[in-house]
């Protein structure tokens, strides 16, 4: 048997192995393509901060889109394998327009490199993307989870929905004009969610004296998702102790005492009625602290020694938010009702 015959036999013998490898590669590729990439959209509801937040139910609403990202010029676009974008509108963003902030910066204020250490500054992260935004205003968009208590009501979407919505949202974002009473942060969040839930989706203005609030949009979202049979999950960030305790009004006693649109008229015309509501509110707070909330959560970290635990909780919440999870529940245990 000559060398040429041996080479031919080797080639013939090697063919099945090559064919097997090619076939396996095709199967793997087909399986990978068949598995749909998961994505989520989440309504971000921040609890009140500052003096105005203490006196009223002023919070903040944004929308997180897990498939959104920014190009070099600051325009939003569709992309995979990213922590996503948070779209938000506030009084200190230059009009017209609404902000689009990478999720890692918005929630934790850290660079995407994930070094952990110090909070990123506006100048080193977003200033070149948004040169018209003053640094003092821009910093307010970074590291929100370290300051406010935050809830993200998350539900799943498809790639087709995201591509269509992101393209439309970029065009609308450039023309959005903010106003506190009629086109505020909650109104903009509602506009974003309507791309996924339909134009009929809207919060109830009646209970808020014809003003749309973050809490009303949150209630409307949960109600809409339940009616559609769409599973959802609420991811909670604790925030700082002196802000995390202050939720928007959960009952009539709390609203009457802390919301000036109710409190001021009563103090002027019916002060005894206000005292009665104050007693009701105080009793509710005492019962809540005693029965369901650990008292240490209302104390400074320096006193309780829980600062590291709070930081760990915040990072775990963010990890839970951006990681793919198929265990969304229509009755989430972390939801605030």
Average pLDDT of 222-249? 76
Q: For residue 157, what is the enclosing H or E element?
A: strand 150-157
Rg (CA), the chain: 25
End-to-end CA distance of the chain: 84
Residue 24: per-residue pLDDT = 45
Average pLDDT of 63-86? 90
Place of tokens 């009501």: 153
CB-hemisphere CA count at 13 Å for 126? 31
By the 8 A CB rule, do 57 and 213 touch?
yes
By the 8 A CB rule, do 224 and 124 touch?
no
pTM greater than 0.85: no
Give the tens place of pLDDT for each residue, 281-317: 888 778 766 654 333 333 233 333 444 577 788 888 8
Average pLDDT of 67-83? 88
- Tell whether the model's pLDDT for residue 25 goes beyond 60: no
Query: Quick one: pLDDT band at residue 52, thresholds 50, 70, 90?
Result: low
By the 8 A CB rule, do 106 and 82 touch?
no
> Dihedral through CA 164, CA 168, CA 170, CA 172, nearest 10?
-160
Query: Quick one: pLDDT band at residue 146, thresholds 50, 70, 90?
Result: confident
Residue 296: per-residue pLDDT = 31
Query: Quick one: pLDDT band at residue 323, thresholds 50, 70, 90?
Result: confident
What angle in degrees, to the nearest 10, is found between the helix axes of 260-269 and 271-291? 130
Residue 113: per-residue pLDDT = 45
Query: Quick one: pLDDT band at residue 48, thresholds 50, 70, 90?
Result: confident
| β-sheet bridge partners, residue 221 | none
Both tokens of 324, joined, read: 């793919």
Residue 196: per-residue pLDDT = 94
- Tell whether the model's pLDDT for residue 5 goes beyond 70: no
Residue 99: per-residue pLDDT = 93
Which segment, 37-51, 178-192, 297-311, is predicted with the most confidence on average? 178-192
- Tell whether the model's pLDDT for residue 334 goes beyond 50: no
Q: Which of 65, 268, 23 is nearest to 163 (CA)?
A: 65
Residue 78: per-residue pLDDT = 93
Give the other-Cβ count within 10 Å of 180's Cβ: 11
Query: Quick one: pLDDT band at residue 244, thresholds 50, 70, 90?
Result: very low
Q: Report the alpha-carbon distance of residue 90 to residue 113 in Å, rounded.
A: 27
Give the tens place of pLDDT for each residue, 129-140: 898 899 888 988
Q: Report the alpha-carbon distance of residue 38 to residue 50 in Å, rounded.
A: 37
Q: Report the alpha-carbon distance of residue 208 to residue 184 in Å, rounded.
A: 13
Residue 293: per-residue pLDDT = 38
- Tell whether the model's pLDDT for residue 152 goes beyond 80: yes
Percent of the chain with pLDDT over 90: 26
| β-sheet bridge partners, residue 233 | 154
Lowest mean pLDDT: which of 121-125, 148-152, 293-297, 328-332? 293-297
Query: Quick one: pLDDT band at residue 232, thresholds 50, 70, 90?
Result: very high
The whole-chain average pLDDT of the chain stands at: 75
Residue 284: per-residue pLDDT = 79
Average pLDDT of 6-30? 46
Residue 306: per-residue pLDDT = 45
CB-hemisphere CA count at 13 Å for 44? 30
Give the tens place of pLDDT for each residue, 99-120: 999 999 999 987 544 444 446 6
Residue 5 to residues 12, 14, 19, 39, 86, Cα–Cα distance (Å): 11, 14, 22, 57, 67
Residue 197: per-residue pLDDT = 93
């Amino acid at each position: 048997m000559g060398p040429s015959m041996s080479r031919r036999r080797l080639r013939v013998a090697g063919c099945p192995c090559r064919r097997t490898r090619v076939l396996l590669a095709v199967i793997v590729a087909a399986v990978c393509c068949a598995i749909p990439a998961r994505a989520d959209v989440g309504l971000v509801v921040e609890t009140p901060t500052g003096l105005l937040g203490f006196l009223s139910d002023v919070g903040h609403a944004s929308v997180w889109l897990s498939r959104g990202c920014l190009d070099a010029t600051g325009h939003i676009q569709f992309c995979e394998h990213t922590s996503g974008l948070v779209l938000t509108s506030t009084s200190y963003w230059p009009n017209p327009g609404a902000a689009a902030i990478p999720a890692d910066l918005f929630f934790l204020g850290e660079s995407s490199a994930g070094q952990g250490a110090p909070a990123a500054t506006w100048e080193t992260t977003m200033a070149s993307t948004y040169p018209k935004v003053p640094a003092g205003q821009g910093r307010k968009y970074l590291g929100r989870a370290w300051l406010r208590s935050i809830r993200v009501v998350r539900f799943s979407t498809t790639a087709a929905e995201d591509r269509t919505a992101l393209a439309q949202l970029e065009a609308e974002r450039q023309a959005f004009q903010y106003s506190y009473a009629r086109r505020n942060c909650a109104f903009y969040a509602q506009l974003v969610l309507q791309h996924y839930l339909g134009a009929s989706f809207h919060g109830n203005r009646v209970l808020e004296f014809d003003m749309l609030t973050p809490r009303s949009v949150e209630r409307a979202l949960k109600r809409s998702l339940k009616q559609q049979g769409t599973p959802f999950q609420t991811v909670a960030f604790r925030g700082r102790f002196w802000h995390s305790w202050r939720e928007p009004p959960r009952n009539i006693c709390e609203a009457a005492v802390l919301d000036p649109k109710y409190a001021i008229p009563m103090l002027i015309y019916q002060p005894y009625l206000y005292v009665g509501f104050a007693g009701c509110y105080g009793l509710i707070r005492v019962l809540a602290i005693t029965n369901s909330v650990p008292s240490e959560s209302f104390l400074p970290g320096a006193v309780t020694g829980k600062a590291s635990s709070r930081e760990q909780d915040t990072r775990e919440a963010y990890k839970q938010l951006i990681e793919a999870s198929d265990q969304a529940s229509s009755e989430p245990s972390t939801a605030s009702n």
